[in-house]
Amino acid sequence: MRPILMKGHERPLTFLRYNRDGDLLFSCAKDHTPNVWFADNGDRLGTYRGHNGAVWSCDVSRDSTRLITGSADQTAKLWDVQTGTELFTFRFDAPARSVEFAIGDGLAVITTDNFMDNVPTAQVKRIADDPDDQSEEALLVISGIKGRINRAVWGPLNKTIITAGEDATIRIWDTETGTCLKESDKEQGHQKTITSLSKSADWSHFLTGSLDKSAKLWDTRTLTLIKTYVTERPVNAVDISPLLDHVVIGGGQDAMNVTMTDRRAGKFEAKFFHKILQEEIGGVKGHFGPINALAFNPDGRSFSSGGEDGYVRLHHFDSDYFNIKI
C-alpha cells in the first residue's frame, strides 16, 4: 500500500472531509487556505482563498456544490465548490471551530470558541439556496458549556445536535428548544479533552477521540458507551470505516512534548482497530509529526490522513486489507 503524498499546505493539517461521492477530498490547515483534491490520484484541483486565520474544519453539501469552512479569523464562509468563489461570510465575536451541514443542507451548525469574554456557543444558521438571500441570523444558540466545543454534529433527522470538547463531556441537545437532553457518564466517559468525533454511515453510533489516549464508541440515541479502544498516545483524530467493522485512530504528542520523552515516543501512525473486538489489527506509519485529521473514503476502499508535518497522505487499501482475519 504505497501512500500518495499530497503537499499543498504550508502549515499543520487540521481537518479532512470527503464529499458524498468520494471523488473529492477537502483539506483544511493552519495556513488559511482550504484545498480540494481528486480523491483517487491525489491531484490538487484548487484552493479556496479568503480566510486570514487557521481554518479548523469544513463540510461539503450532499450534491458537492457548497463548501462551508470555520476559521480562527472569527468567520465561517460558504464557497462555491466548483469555482472557488466565496458566496457568504458569517461573522462572529470569537473563532469559528466546527462546521457541519444538516441533512438536506438547509441548515448548518457552527461552533464558536471561548475567546476574551465570550462563552463557547453552537449556533444553527439557515443556509439559503440563493446566496443573495443568505442572512447571518442564528435560528438557535446553544450555550452554557464550559471549555471549547471541538465538535458539534447533527444527530439523526436533524432532531438533535451532539457536542464534545474540552470539558470531556458529550452532550445531546434538542434542536427545537436548545435544551440539553443527555450528558455522557462522567465515570465511563473520557477523562480529558475530546478532540474528535465521527459518525457511522447510518448515524446509529459515533466515535470520539480524546487526549486521555482512548477512543470510545457511543450509541447516538441513548448515549450509552459501547466500546473503548486504548492506545499509547493522545488521540487527535478518529473515523469509522463505512465498509468493514474497523475504526482508525491517529494522534501523537504535541510537538512541544516530543523532545521530553525518548526517541521512540514520536509514534505517528494511524492505527486500525476491530470495531467489535476492540483489538488492534494494524497500523500505517509515515507522518513526521502527530496525525491531526483522518477520513475514510465513503466507499471504504481508501483513507487519508493529515499531519502536523503539513502533508496529506492518501492510502488505497491492498486486497490483503479486505481479508484480514482475527
The per-residue pLDDT for range 177-193, each reduced to its tens digit, is 999 999 999 999 999 99
d(CA 311, CA 285): 13
- Please enumerate in sequence order all residues whose Cβ is within 8 A of that of 132, keeping only pairs 6 or more positions apart, or say none: none
Instruction: Give yes or no for residue 266 having a pLDDT over 50.
Output: no
Work out the mean pLDDT of the chain and round it to a whole number.
93
Instruction: Give yes or no for residue 74 having a pLDDT over 90.
Output: yes
> Which cell numbers hold the place of 5?
503524498
pLDDT for position 263: 47
Q: How many domains, the chain?
A: 1
The per-residue pLDDT for range 8-28, each reduced to its tens digit, is 999 999 999 999 999 999 999
CATH number at residue 278: 2.130.10.10
Under DSSP, is residue 305 helix (H, G, I), strand (E, B) or coil?
strand
d(CA 264, CA 12): 21
Domain that holds residue 290: 3-322
Q: How confident is the model at residue 116 (pLDDT cuts 50, 70, 90)?
A: confident
